[in-house]
Amino acid sequence: MSESKPNASEVLDRLSSSYGVSTQKELAVCLEISPGNVSAWVQRGSVPGNAIIKCALDTGADLKWLVTGLFANANLKNTNISKSARTDSGKTLLKKMLSAGGKSVLKRILDAYGFTTQKELSEYLEISTGTISTWVRREYFPGDVVITCALDTGASLEWLATGEMGIASQVETAASGIPMISKKLLLAGKLDEDGFCYIDETFVPDGVNLNNLNFVRSGKSAWLIEMGISEISNGSWLLDIDGILDVYAVSRRPGSKLRVIGQDGEFECSTNEVIAKGLVVALLKNYI
């Protein structure tokens, strides 16, 4: 796969516009790099993918517009945030991006493309499998490939870059109009990121907030769970008990007591002895 290289000066102009700055020095402050780096990018004729990703997530600017300039309606609604607020956001974002490199970012890229092996990805991107293996070995964050993947597949840039889905990006819509929600794997009492999936809204009960809906699987069972609901009522819940997550059937008892039924038995406890992480709104048994 080969594409023409975007013009570095034009990309920098769009980055500056998104941040609401006018000089290379101001742009360097927003990107938390040396001004000399920006000058070097112009001389080299190439802007690193990490800088473009950071700008897109920091400002909300349209990724394709930042890279190609094709869209004139880029989302620049956040360009007026204060410089100090940008810096705090940037530091947090950069930390998340760099800590999400290596094997984890590779898995998300493979999931987004629908590939199961590094060989498939290497052939598609026309890069060696050795290069891909280096990402894993060195915990490297391949910013340029993340951008390519986001533009190719329509996957959430925030999810690809950090493994997380923000409120704005968690419910994205495919060209067919089908919402996309986060998938998570419940394993050994922990929730791990497992990509994303599209869901038919007819399977979702009325009143459920799609922004908070996750598809959670464990073994041969899976659930649609509306995360973030903390007031426990009768029903099935994702509970944190002593730091271990699992799905339980719960019924309330007088005196702020709960009857909790799990795979290994049942017990009673006080409401303050468990932490509700989410309400099960649909159960899928033996879905594999």
Average pLDDT over residues 104-132: 87
**Highest-confidence segment of 81-95, 132-146, 241-255:** 241-255
- pTM for this entry: 0.48
Q: Do domains 8-99 and 103-162 have the same CATH topology?
A: yes
Residue 243 is encoded by which pair of tokens?
């730091």
Q: Quote the percentage of the chain above a pLDDT of 70.
A: 81
Classify each residue of 154-175 as buried b or exposed e, where b means 16 or more C-beta atoms within 10 Å of its C-beta: ebbbbbbbbbebeeebbbbeee
CATH topology of domain 103-162: 434 Repressor (Amino-terminal Domain) (1.10.260)
CA atoms within 13 A on the CB side of 17: 16
53 in helix, strand or coil? helix
**What pLDDT shows up at residue 173?**
45
Q: State how far the alpha carbon of 143 is from the alpha carbons of 50, 51, 120, 281, in Å.
A: 5, 8, 19, 37
User: pLDDT tens across 54-88, in order?
Assistant: 888 888 788 888 888 775 343 444 434 344 444 44
Q: Is the pLDDT of residue 114 over 90?
A: no
Does 33 have pLDDT greater than 70? yes
Lowest mean per-residue pLDDT among 117-126, 129-138, 196-205, 230-239: 196-205
Q: What is the mean pLDDT of the chain?
A: 79
**Res. 89 pLDDT band, cuts 50 70 90:** low
Q: Give the Cα-Cα-Cα angle 130, 136, 142 (nearest 5 degrees).
A: 85
Q: Which residue has the tokens 């929730």?
A: 191
DSSP-assigned beta bridge partners for residue 164: none
User: Between 24-31 and 83-99, two packed helices, what is the crossing angle to 10 degrees?
Assistant: 50
- Beta strands at 221-227 and 235-241: parallel, antiparallel or unpaired: unpaired
Backbone φ and ψ for 164, nearest 5 degrees, come out as: -120, 160
- How many CB atoms within 10 Å of residue 196? 22
Domain ranges of the chain: 8-99, 103-162, 168-288
Cα separation, 149 vs 22, whole angstroms = 30
In contact, 181 and 197? CB cutoff 8 Å: yes
Question: Is residue 1 helix, strand or coil?
Answer: coil
Of 59-63, 105-109, 215-219, 247-251, the range with the highest mean pLDDT is 247-251
Domain 168-288 has CATH 2.10.109.10: yes
Q: What is the pLDDT of residue 73?
A: 41
| Superfamily the domain 8-99 falls into | lambda repressor-like DNA-binding domains (1.10.260.40)
pLDDT of residue 104: 81
- HSE value, Cβ hemisphere, 13 Å, CA-based, for 3: 13
